[in-house]
Structure formats: C-alpha cells, structure tokens
Amino acid sequence: MIIQPRTRGFICLTAHPDGALQSVKNQIEYVKSKGELKNGPKKVLVIGASTGFGLSSRIEAAFGSGAATIGVFFEKPASEGKIGTAGWYNSAAFEKEAATAGLYAKSINGDAFSDEVKKETIELIKKDLGQVDLVVYSLASPRRTHPKTGVAYASVLKPIGEPFTNKTVDFHTGVVSDISIQPVDKDEDIENTIAVMGGEDWKFWMEDLKNAGVLADGVKTVAYSYIGPELTFPIYRNGTIGQAKNDLEATVPVLNDLLKDLNGTSYVSVNKALVTQSSSAIPVVPLYISLLYKVMKAKGTHEGTIEQMERLFSERLYTADGVVPLDDAGRIRIDDWEMAADVQAEVAKQWNQVTTENLADISDIEGYRKDFFNLFGFEIDGIDYEKDANENVKVPSIA
C-alpha cells in the first residue's frame, strides 16, 4: 500500500518500511565509516533495541564491533490493514542487514518488564550465545506492570513543588507559546514514575541474567540518562522523570556489587537531547532541542543517536587503554558537547528571544521536524513515497 505520515500531536500513527530500511542502512554506513572497534563487545543483549538510542546501540555493536546481538522490544507488526510500528520495521531492516553481513541477530518482541520475557531471553542466550559480554538497557515507556506484584504503574511528566511556566513549540505549526504545567499533587506520581523509569527493572534483568549464568566474565552493562540545561530542570531533571533518573543512577553501585565476582561493571551514560518518540512527548524540550540543533550544527558538533553511540563505544566503554572516563558522580558523559559552556550560553540567549515570528530563523525547527518524520521512516532521502510499500515485512527471527 501507499503509506503516508498520519500524525496526532507528537505521535505518528503510521510508519514506512522502506524508509526505515534506508535509515537503518544510513546508520550502518556511518558506523562502518568509523572503522572497526579493536576491543569491542562480541555478544550483546540490547533491551529497548528497536528505536532511538537502543537501536543505534545495537547497530554500533553489530556493525562497529562485529557483535552477535539479541534485541528485546515492544512493537507491532502490521495486522488487518493496519500498518506496523516504526520499531518493527527498523528491526526487520536490522536483521536483514545483519544476515547479509553474516552477523547473528535475533529479536524478542514482548514486555521487557515481565518475568516471561526475561526467561525467554535467557533461554535464547543459553541456546545460541552461551553468555553475553554487554547488556544495554534502553527502555523508555510510559507504563510498567510490576512482575512480582502485578501493580500497573503509569509515569507522569510533571514538575515537583511549584507550577512551571515556560515557552514551548508545536513543531507541526511552528507556534511558540507559553505553557504552564501544574506540579504533582500527590507523592504517588513521583513513586509511580520511579517505578516505571527508575532502576528496579534494570536490576531485575541483571539479577536474572547473573543467576542463569549467562553473563560473561568482565561483563559491562549500561543504561541511559539525561541532565540538560537549567531551563528544563523544573520539567526534567528536578521533575518526576528526573527522580526516576536519580534512581537509575543510584542503581549503578548496586549492580557493581552484584557483578563484582564476575569482574563486571555497570554504567549510566548521560546522553545528548535528541528527537525520539520519547523526547517529543516532553513539553518545553522540543523547543530547546530546536535551538540546540541550530547552535551545534553551526559549530559542527551536532550528533544523532548513531554518532552518540559510536562515540560511547569507541571513546568511553571500549577505549584502547581500557579506562572508561567518568565524571565526578561516576557517570559517562556523552552530553559533553551539548553542555559545553559556549553552546549553552548561545542557546540561553536565543531562548529569551525566540517567538513564533523568528522561530524559523533562530532555531532549527525544520531539522527537528525532519528528524521526527525520519523516526517513522518518512522524508528519508532516496525513498519514493508514491510507490507501493510492503507493510507486511517480517522480523525474520520472529516471523
């Protein structure tokens, strides 16, 4: 069928399989252009592997380091005339390219928060790989059903303590307006957000993997966090999601303890603000990203998820001397170019000036919009969107 984008707010209801394939290929080409990692990972589990940072982690591990990969995600194939999700098509594309390159790649589609999916993953590792030497934890979800209690938690994106008023943009229309977001009115909202996006599920995964004997000696595990500028602190780092990120970061020493007898290490990597399905849902942040992109592109320091993951692997996790550079709080920082003083000073200046009228000039709203559609396989160079696409493509290891 002919597939066109159909959006509702920050959600795109359709996705294009050929665009997804091309965008995965583009990421692979980038990774290959950087040359093979010398002492990179060889058997990798990526939890949240179908889009955003997780997909790019999988591509970097496979095509930058020759790794066998198992990817876990929660996506939908096409059914009854309905188009599949972007992450489904990305994963179909990834497995196809991996097979062509002679790389092992299998995927598990289901709820990563559940005990069942953890068990299924462990069985697959045992059967095919024996052990894994890297576990990437890159889930982003608005809800989680707790595997032990059955309680269903929903996260919220709210400030804590006081209402937060600031500028925001509708990236479809380019209208800049003020938004006021009321703070959480019950502590439960904070606890629920921690239950969904905090570190407990990462810990459950690592405990189960260790108990099953499927973690290799010297195993590494990494999860992703965000800090960002002061102007987004009320809605991000000091808001409900920030409390979950604090909890995720506090899980690092717990996992280091768990992995000690395997000589294993756990890390949180603080990544750059980028357009993904998750970040487009956060108020205020898309306007910040639009201004940030403009400044970083002008300086030549702009990166997408694949550039970030290539740098994470080659210059942080798998350096030539084996030393992993960390900040004072023990975190990996690949948000360093975003947080550079000159970049932040310029963004702050533009933030005060930006209006609907000057948005197109002083921000990269067009780059934001294009990145958003690219996530769903649209507006990818070289794709003819008037042509019929096969919406029924399969993920080979699942079909």
Task: Name the residues that contact ligand NAI, by CB under 6 A.
Answer: 48-54, 72-75, 87, 111-113, 138-141, 224-226, 271, 273-274, 276-279
**Residue 233: Cβ within 10 Å count:** 15
Q: Looking at the DSSP assignment, which residues form a beta bridge with residue 175?
A: 170
The yes or no reply on residue 48 touching Na ion (CB under 5 A) is: yes
C-beta of 120 vs 262, nearer to ligand NAI:
120
Any residues with CB less than 8 A from the CB of 332 and at least 6 apart, and which? 222, 267, 268, 269, 270, 312, 316, 317, 324, 325, 326
C-beta of 54 vs 242, nearer to Na ion:
54
Smallest distance from the beta carbon of 275 to ligand NAI, in angstroms? 7
Smallest distance from the beta carbon of 139 to ligand NAI, in angstroms? 4
Asked if 239 contacts 160 with a C-beta cutoff of 8 angstroms, the reply is yes
CA distance 26 to 22: 6
200: which 2 tokens?
């407990």
Question: Considering CB distances under 5 to 8 angstroms, the limit depending on partner class, which of ligand NAI, Na ion, none binds residue 279?
Answer: ligand NAI
149: which 2 tokens?
């209690």
| Residues between 212 and 241 that touch Na ion (CB under 5 A) | none
| Residues between 121 and 140 that touch Na ion (CB under 5 A) | 138
C-beta of 54 vs 64, nearer to Na ion:
54
Answer yes or no: 288 catalytic.
Answer: no
C-beta of 191 vs 303, nearer to Na ion:
303
Asked if 161 contacts 181 with a C-beta cutoff of 8 angstroms, the reply is no
Q: Is 53 annotated as a binding residue?
A: yes
Please tell me which residue in 30, 89, 137, 236 is annotated as part of the active site: 236
The yes or no reply on residue 53 touching Na ion (CB under 5 A) is: yes
Q: Is 74 annotated as a binding residue?
A: yes
Question: Considering CB distances under 5 to 8 angstroms, the limit depending on partner class, which of ligand NAI, Na ion, none binds residue 243?
Answer: none
The yes or no reply on residue 71 touching Na ion (CB under 5 A) is: no
Smallest distance from the beta carbon of 237 to Na ion, in angstroms? 20
CA distance 74 to 79: 15
Distance from chain centroid for Cα 128 = 26
CA distance 60 to 69: 10
125: which 2 tokens?
């590792």
Q: Looking at the DSSP assignment, which residues form a beta bridge with residue 7?
A: 12
CA distance 353 to 51: 33
Q: Which residue number places its CB atom closest to ligand NAI?
A: 52
Task: List the binding residues for substrate.
Answer: 226
Task: List the binding residues for NAD(+).
Answer: 48-53, 74-75, 111-112, 139-140, 245, 274-276
